Structure 1
Amino acid sequence: MSSTPATSSTPPSCAATTSPTRASAGDVVTGRRVVVTGGAGFLGSHLCRALLDAGDEVVAVDNLVTGSLENIAPLFSQAAFTFLHHDVSNFVYVSGPVDAVLHFASPASPIDFARIPIQILKVGSRGTQNALGLAKDKGARFLLASTSEVYGDPLVHPQPETYWGNVNPIGPRGVYDEAKRFAEAMAMAYRNHHGVEVRIVRIFNTYGTRMRPDDGRAVSNFLVQALAGQPLTVYGDGSQTRSFCYVEDEVRGILALLDSDHEGPMNIGNPHEFTI
């Protein structure tokens, strides 16, 4: 499948964590208070760092099924950072005011599609509803991390946001595709019926620091094999193409969307394709 956007220290143990964990000292936060679900994941951890650097207070929520405390270990020393060990497929409670909810909780690596398919569907449905419920209760803006996978095996190149896609709901990637399609529908329903301010980012291939070595996508596979001195595995005849966006560029785009007046889906990724 080739999808291209038409637009452009040891971490603390979480075993006994049942309530938010806060640093005990630091400067007063004057920015927004932002909840990031999936905050210990690859992309979520970069978002947490960027938000903190911008002067925002961050509450990261993660069940650590695919996320890692190592990803957010440097953030625990900051007074503006809170970590909540929690599965958002269950009811989400965050005390105090919240200005924005960024819903990034979901296994997103191809290796997970066969390993934990039910969890993927649950976080896309129940998890999205719970995150939207939090945004509704707090009067917060909601940003959904969706994906280019909603386009499936596209028959249109590049894909504009108006393209409905070509998805096989029972294919090997179907659980992820359909979880995100449902999440988008849920988000727009909350916008239309409850007045929640919704932003939807359709994320294309992203790479960078903190990627899981077993991610299962081309960049991580190539790096792991190269570092091990192994031949690079190319599936197919090498003519297939992919677009790749560096994680810090992706994060800048996501935060620009969060702060924009644009409602509805927005593709964010590299519009240029490379052969594999």
Structure 2
Amino acid sequence: MRVLVSGGAGFLGSHLCEALIKDGHEVICVDNFGSGRRQNLRDIDSGRLTVIEGDIRKNITFPPVDRIYHLASRASPADFTDFPVRIALTNTEGTRQLLDHAVACDARMVFASTSEVYGDPEVHPQPESYNGNVNIRGPRGCYDESKRFGETLTVAYEDEYDLDVRTARIFNTYGTRMREDDGRVVPTFITQALRGDDLTVYGDGTQTRSFCYVSDTIAGLRALMEQDGLQGTVVNVGCENEISIQTLAEKILHICDTTSGIRYEPKPADDPTRRKPDLTKATRILDWQPTVGLEEGLQRTIAYFQGGARNAIPSPEH
């Protein structure tokens, strides 16, 4: 099959491109290299990979494809302040562009939504039926609410054009190819520990997250795409290993065998207090569940950064 991956040079996108190509698919990677990096693609078989440098918020001539994975969007909280308009438009206007192309090609599509649509949840763990608790005017609103509207667009296109589009609500994912300057907690803690700096914990560290290793997330996305009869389905993709940020910091300090300590800073506005997916639906309809434990995944990720993974800061004009 010919598969289009928007954001294909990013952390998740590059792993997805690699997995698809290994299984014999032809892949079209579309990326403006705002947060994605060319080096993420360097080890991928270029014989079946076509890279289109372009911005999905603008008109791009896409080739005909059979499948579309829409992964494009900055996802780091550090970017929410610097790039709010670009993030909001990528998840709305960019999503519309890809939905139009899916209609034109009669292609099946997976929209990469996020656990952020649940906001600071009042229901725990979070099932797909929960509508969330999002501050639409807060610092995370550009991402949270644009992903929510992106989901609304997918429903509208299904209703009006009978488009087969599925939605994955992706929970915290980590692993190789993350940027050092990503701003998310795992690469931040790892780079601080490897430099010998104290790890920065916001608030008292009791807030929780559930971390899924990248290979498991990719397997979940592919299971959602490849199974027939799931038109219009929304499903959580993540891991149920809920852990406090304090405990995560202590684990990384232990694995890195560093003398670094922990320092505490004020908790950012709207930072969720708890985050854990209800995977009942994913397990039932996809026959999928994560297989990489947190300890193993952290060891792989730390080894990647120890091996000299030094990441150029993306160009700000994107």
Same fold (TM over 0.5): yes
Please say if 1:273 is aligned against 2:265.
Answer: no
Q: Distance in 2 between matches of 1:53 and 1:230?
A: 39
Contact 1:92 1:134 in 2 (8 A): no
**Aligned mate of 2:174, from 207, 217, 223:** 207
Q: Distance in 1 between matches of 2:182 and 2:43?
A: 23
3-state DSSP of counterpart to 1:137: helix
Contact 1:188 1:264 in 2 (8 A): no
User: What stretches of structure 1 move > 2 A for 4+ residues in a row?
Assistant: 261-264
Q: CA deviation at 1:78?
A: 2.6
Q: What is the aligned partner in structure 2 of residue 254 from structure 1?
A: 221
Identity of aligned residues (%): 51
Query: Which runs of no fewer than 5 residues in structure 2 stay unpaired?
Result: 246-318
Query: Which runs of no fewer than 5 residues in structure 1 stay unpaired?
Result: 1-31
Q: Distance in 2 between matches of 1:142 and 1:252?
A: 16
**Aligned mate of 1:88, from 51, 56, 60:** 56
Q: Deviations over 1:36-57 (max 9, x none)?
A: 0000111000000010011111
Please say if 1:51 is aligned against 2:20.
Answer: yes
Q: Distance in 2 between matches of 1:177 and 1:156?
A: 17
Coordinate RMSD, CA, aligned: 1.0
Counterparts in 2 of 1:111-260, with a 5 A limit?
A: 111-260=78-227
Larger fraction in helix: 2
Contact 1:93 1:134 in 2 (8 A): no
Q: CA deviation at 1:74?
A: 1.8
Task: Give the TM-score, by structure 1 length.
Answer: 0.86
Residue type at the aligned position of 2:29:
A
Q: What is the aligned partner in structure 1 of residue 306 from structure 2?
A: none
Q: Deviations over 1:131-158 (max 9, x none)?
A: 1011110010011000000001100000
Q: Distance in 2 between matches of 1:92 and 1:186?
A: 19
Residue type at the aligned position of 1:110:
P
Q: CA deviation at 1:112?
A: 0.7
Residue type at the aligned position of 2:73:
S
Counterparts in 2 of 1:105-116, with a 5 A limit?
A: 105-116=72-83
Alignment length (residue pairs): 243
Q: Distance in 1 between matches of 2:132 and 2:55?
A: 30
State the structure with bigger RCO (CA 8 A, min sep 6), 1 or 2: 1
Q: CA deviation at 1:235?
A: 1.4
Contact 1:92 1:131 in 2 (8 A): no
3-state DSSP of counterpart to 1:234: strand
Contact 1:104 1:144 in 2 (8 A): yes
